[in-house]
Each structure stands twice: as C-alpha cells, then as structure tokens.
C-alpha cells in the first residue's frame, strides 16, 4: 500500500466507522444499536470501555478527584453514552442521576446524584473558539 492510502484508511476508515462498518457519527451509532445492529453495539461498548478506563487511570494518578466533566459533541449531547460510561463507576463513588443525565444536553449541569462522592457534570465546550484563541496566542498576537 502507498503511504497516502494508509493515511486515508487511518484517518477516515478506522475508529468508530472501522469497527461498526456503519458510521463515525455517534448519533447514528446509537440509533443503529437501538435497532439491534451488532457492529454499532460493539463499537459503543468499546468506546465506553475506553473512556471508563481513561477516567479510572486519571483517578489513580491524581489520587482521586472532586468531579469529572463531559464536554465536546458526544460528552455534551449523548446522555446514553454518559450513562454507559458511568454505569460501572460505583467503586469510586460516581453515581449518575438518571433524570439529570437525560435532561442535560448542551447546557452546564450536574448529572450525578446529590450524595455521590465523585460528581459528574456536563460542560459545553466551544472548541472552535478555544482553537482560535490558542492560535492567536501561538502567533504572539
């Protein structure tokens, strides 16, 4: 294979699309999983497992935390994904409030229960603004 072809595969045909063989769009994958698509269900399970693994790793390195934040497109707008990620996190005191989690879409909100030892929040992120600000900073303006 040519390098350009490998780059194309890695950048456009891997990840969510590569595993699901359907889409790289989480909304479409959630819909497909809801309709029984095994590939979509597999990629959702893999995605949530990896996020949960990273959260656990950071909690270990930081010796705990007060809260975790969900931001960006999936973190802000996919309550089902947040629920799947947090479902097996009771060991560290993270417990989601189902109603809060379902209601939080793209707005700042606490989604954990009142008595959770580790709270979870949805925090909207304006990624384009952050990139623009950082670019201006790097250019010394």
Q: Could you tell me the CA-to-CA distances from 70 to 20, 30, 31, 67, 94 in Å, in that order? A: 23, 18, 21, 10, 13
Does the reported pTM lie above 0.95? no
Domain positions in the chain are: 1-64, 67-141
Q: What is the pLDDT of residues 58-85, one digit of tens each?
A: 999 999 999 999 998 899 999 999 999 9
Any idea what DSSP says for residue 76? H
Instruction: Give the integer Cα–Cα distance in Å for 67 and 119.
Output: 4
Looking up tokens 């656990």 gives: 56
Specify the CATH class of 67-141 in words.
alpha beta
Q: What is the pLDDT of residues 42-53, one digit of tens each?
A: 999 999 999 999
- Residue ranges of the chain with pLDDT lower than 50? none
């Amino acid at each position: 294979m040519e390098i350009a072809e490998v780059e194309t595969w890695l950048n456009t045909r891997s990840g969510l699309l590569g595993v699901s063989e359907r889409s790289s769009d989480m909304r479409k994958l959630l819909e497909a999983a809801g309709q029984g698509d095994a590939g979509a269900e597999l990629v959702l399970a893999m995605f949530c497992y990896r996020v949960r693994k990273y959260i656990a790793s950071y909690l270990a390195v930081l010796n705990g935390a007060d809260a975790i934040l969900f931001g960006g497109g999936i973190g802000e707008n996919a309550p089902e994904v947040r629920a799947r990620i947090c479902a097996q996190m009771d060991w560290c005191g993270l417990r989601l409030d189902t109603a809060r989690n379902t209601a939080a879409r793209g707005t700042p909100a606490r989604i954990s229960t009142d008595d959770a030892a580790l709270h979870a929040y949805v925090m909207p992120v304006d990624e384009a603004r952050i990139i623009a600000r950082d670019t201006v900073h790097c250019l010394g303006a």
